[in-house]
Structure formats: structure tokens, C-alpha cells
């Protein structure tokens, strides 16, 4: 029996620094209602969807920084979104800044969660590939201080959800082939990616005209090379003076874009995703068990404290270091 998931890419336009959580959640709920009216099982929201993209500012006051973080999820201002999901019977993926206290220690992450049709969180992902810088760089027109405000996550997890194998990634993760391959090796069938990407790249302004092309390039290649659907969803438009690329789209396992947003505002793009279409690629061109030859790559990884080759065999005598 075919496994179809009707998906909405829930793009957001700019979120002002003065906008409250309640106001933003109302926008998310409006998009959720549109997705439900179009028969969707799942809506995917952008990275750091609940606030403006605050790493563009250098801040030293920890209380000011923490005002952008969620101390619990759902919390008083976000519970309405979970309640609506349960009422409508639709799942969602939401990106936000997470403040977590674990074993008495406070940690801050750039996080996404996957929520099922009952309004229950079934998977959490913390961004691994943090871009930008950690200290104030006054020469920039705007900052990109993710390395200052967040800790990196520790891995990519694929969850059984929506009758398939669903993974998550966030923004800069999408640029790295390891992101898709680690999930591809777990049999992923759909990768959900929220992002906030400025048009202007201060260290490499010659890339600016290519920003939208590069955005699609990495998601399309990641989809094709791992036989998976990819749903990429932006916060778009001119936010606090910074132009963001938009370009939200849904990519098939063939690498083809099958749906895309056409504005830089609040909008949904829709696709009926056949998860069984992944098998056409996973069992032929990208059948890892038959065609992939990791022993020939010369890569060395550390697994459970022991150095191993990428295919899981012990490191040969005389080799050391890590390559992934």
C-alpha cells in the first residue's frame, strides 16, 4: 500500500524584534489552518520561528539573550499551537531557541521538534553545524553570532513518524553532505529543514547573487544522493533591515523541486509526497549496501571512544586521526 504524506512548507515573512510570541504563534496557527484546509498531514515551519533572528545582534546581557529562548515547550505562549494541532489532527515541525536545564546545567541550543497529530512531541533535534562567529565583529553590517549564543548538537536522529522515517536538520546543516548521509544510512525518507539565510554573506559578498542557487543546490543534491524527500522552509523577506532569501521548497527523491513558495511573506507550498518513491533510488542507484564502498574512502571516525574506519572496521596499524 502506497504511503503518502501531504506536506505544507509553512514559510514566514519577517518577524520584527518587537513582535510578541503570541503574535507570531497566531501567524503560525493561520498557516496551520490553511494547511489543514488543503488536506495536509504535516506543516513545517522555519528555524527560530518564534522570534526575529536575534544572532544578528551582539549582546552581553544574559537576561536579554535569554528573552529569545523558550524555557519549556510547549509553554504558555506556544501551547495554543499544540492545542490547534490536536484539534485539527495535523502534525508540525517547529524551530526555536531552546534553553534546557539538564543535570543541573543550563544549555542553549538552536532546536527543532517534530510533533504528531495528537499534539505530542515525538522527536527533538539540536543544530549541529553552527555557522558564523563567537565574538563581536564590528566590520560586519550585521552579526551572525550563533557560535556565541548556542551550543552545537550531537547528532542526527531519524524517527518513525507519519508512516515513514523522518529526520530533521537546521539551516547551515543543509550545506554539509554528512547531514543527509548520516540520516540516509538510517533509511530516512523525509528530511525537514528550517532556515534563516541572509542574501548578503559578509565574509564572501561575491556569493550574494548565488545564495538562492546554493540553497536549492544543496537540498536537491542531498535529496537525490540519499533517496529522500527534503522539505526546506525559510523565514524570508527584509527582517530588521536584513534581506533573507526565502526560496522555501519541497524536493522529491529525484532531486526535482515539486512545490515552492513564490513570495517572501507568510505562505504555504503544498506537495503530496509518496514515501515509497524513495525506494526507486534506495534500491537502485543509491543502494548503499550494494554500491557504496566506505572502506575505500580512507576516512577515520571515532565511535564510542575507539578509532574506526568509516565502514566500522578497526583502524589499520600506522593510521591515526579522524576524517569526518
Could you write out the DSSP letters of every residue in 99-168? EEEETTEEEEEEEEEEE-TTS-EEEEEE--S--S-SS--TTSSS---HHHH--------EEEETTEEEEE
pLDDT of residue 322: 31
Q: Is residue 299 within 8 Å of 309, Cβ to Cβ?
A: yes
**In the structure grid, which three cell numbers stand for residue 193, read together?**
529543514
Q: Is residue 73 within 8 Å of 98, Cβ to Cβ?
A: yes
pLDDT of residue 40: 98
In this predicted structure, the answer to whether residue 308 has a pLDDT above a threshold of 60 is: no
98 included as an active-site residue: no
235 included as an active-site residue: no
Q: Is residue 2 within 8 Å of 276, Cβ to Cβ?
A: yes
What strands, in cross-sheet order, belong to the sheet with 121-126? 121-126, 105-115, 91-102, 42-44, 4-11, 267-274
In this predicted structure, the answer to whether residue 307 has a pLDDT above a threshold of 50 is: no
The whole-number average pLDDT for the span 34-57 is: 98
State how far the Cα of 276 lies from the Cα of 122, in Å rounded to an integer. Answer: 22
Q: What is the pLDDT of residues 182-204, one digit of tens each?
A: 999 999 999 999 999 999 999 99
Strand partners, 159: 166
Q: Within the chain, where are the H helices?
A: 21-37, 62-66, 79-88, 146-149, 177-184, 211-226, 279-282, 288-291
Quickly state the pLDDT bin for 316 (edges 50, 70, 90).
Answer: low
Q: What is the pLDDT of residues 117-174, one digit of tens each?
A: 999 999 999 999 999 999 999 999 999 999 999 999 989 989 999 999 999 999 999 9
189 included as an active-site residue: no
Quickly state the pLDDT bin for 314 (edges 50, 70, 90).
Answer: low
**In the structure grid, which three cell numbers stand for residue 22, read together?**
503570541
Q: What is the pLDDT of residues 249-298, one digit of tens each?
A: 999 999 999 999 999 999 999 999 999 999 999 999 999 999 998 877 76
Question: 207 by DSSP, 3-state: which?
Answer: helix
pLDDT of residue 294: 82
Q: Is residue 40 within 8 Å of 311, Cβ to Cβ?
A: no
pLDDT of residue 318: 45
Q: Is residue 61 within 8 Å of 6, Cβ to Cβ?
A: no
Which residue's C-alpha cell is 551572525? Answer: 144
pLDDT of residue 2: 76
The whole-number average pLDDT for the span 228-236 is: 98
**In the structure grid, which three cell numbers stand for residue 23, read together?**
503574535
Q: What is the pTM of this model?
A: 0.92
Which residue's C-alpha cell is 509553512? Answer: 10
**In the structure grid, which three cell numbers stand for residue 278, read together?**
524513495
pLDDT of residue 1: 62
Q: Is residue 273 within 8 Å of 229, Cβ to Cβ?
A: yes
Active-site option among 171, 249, 273, 278: 171
**In the structure grid, which three cell numbers stand for residue 7, read together?**
506536506
Active-site option among 40, 47, 98, 278: 47
Active-site option among 127, 235, 264, 282: 127
* Per-residue DSSP letter, 33: H
Domain annotation for the chain: domains and CATH numbers: 4-292 (3.60.110.10), 294-324 (no CATH)
State how far the Cα of 273 lies from the Cα of 5, in Å rounded to an integer. Answer: 5
Rg (CA), the chain: 20
Q: Is residue 160 within 8 Å of 203, Cβ to Cβ?
A: no
Amino acid at each position: 500500500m502506497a504511503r503518502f504524506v501531504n506536506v505544507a512548507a509553512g514559510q514566514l515573512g519577517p518577524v520584527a524584534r518587537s513582535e510578541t510570541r503570541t503574535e507570531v504563534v497566531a501567524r503560525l496557527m493561520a498557516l496551520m489552518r490553511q494547511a489543514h484546509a488543503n488536506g495536509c498531514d504535516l506543516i513545517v515551519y522555519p528555524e527560530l520561528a518564534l522570534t526575529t533572528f536575534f544572532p544578528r545582534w551582539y549582546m552581553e546581557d544574559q537576561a536579554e539573550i535569554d528573552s529569545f529562548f523558550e524555557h519549556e515547550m510547549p509553554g504558555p505562549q506556544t501551547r495554543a499551537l499544540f492545542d490547534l494541532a490536536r484539534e485539527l489532527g495535523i502534525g508540525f515541525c517547529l524551530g526555536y531557541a531552546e534553553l534546557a536545564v539538564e543535570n543541573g546545567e543550563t544549555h542553549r541550543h538552536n532546536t527543532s521538534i517534530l510533533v504528531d497529530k495528537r499534539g505530542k512531541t515525538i522527536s527533538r533535534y539540536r543544530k549541529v553545524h553552527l555557522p558564523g562567529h563567537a565574538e563581536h565583529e564590528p566590520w560586519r553590517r550585521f552579526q551572525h553570532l550563533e557560535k556565541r549564543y548556542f551550543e552545537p548538537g550531537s547528532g542526527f536522529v531519524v524517527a518513525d513518524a507519519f508512516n515513514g522515517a523522518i529526520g530533521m536538520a537546521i539551516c547551515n546543516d543543509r550545506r554539509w553532505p554528512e547531514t543527509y548521509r548520516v540520516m540516509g544510512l538510517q533509511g530516512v525518507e523525509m528530511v525537514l529543514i528550517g532556515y534563516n539565510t541572509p542574501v548578503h554573506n559578509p565574509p564572501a559578498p561575491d556569493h550574494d547573487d548565488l545564495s538562492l542557487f546554493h540553497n536549492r543546490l544543496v537540498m536537491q543534491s542531498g535529496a537525490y544522493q540519499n533517496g529522500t524527500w527534503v522539505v526546506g522552509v525559510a523565514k524570508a523577506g527584509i527582517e530588521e533591515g536584513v534581506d533573507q532569501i526565502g526560496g522555501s521548497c519541497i524536493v522529491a527523491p529525484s532531486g526535482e523541486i515539486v512545490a515552492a513558495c513564490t513570495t517572501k511573506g507568510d505562505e504555504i507550498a503544498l506537495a503530496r509526497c509518496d514515501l515509497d518513491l524513495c525506494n526507486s533510488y534506495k534500491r537502485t542507484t543509491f543502494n548503499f549496501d550494494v554500491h557504496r564502498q566506505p572502506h575505500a574512502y580512507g576516512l577515520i571516525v571515532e565511535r564510542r571512544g575507539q578509532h574506526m574506519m568509516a565502514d566500522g572496521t578497526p583502524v589499520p596499524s600506522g593510521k591515526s586521526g579522524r576524517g569526518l
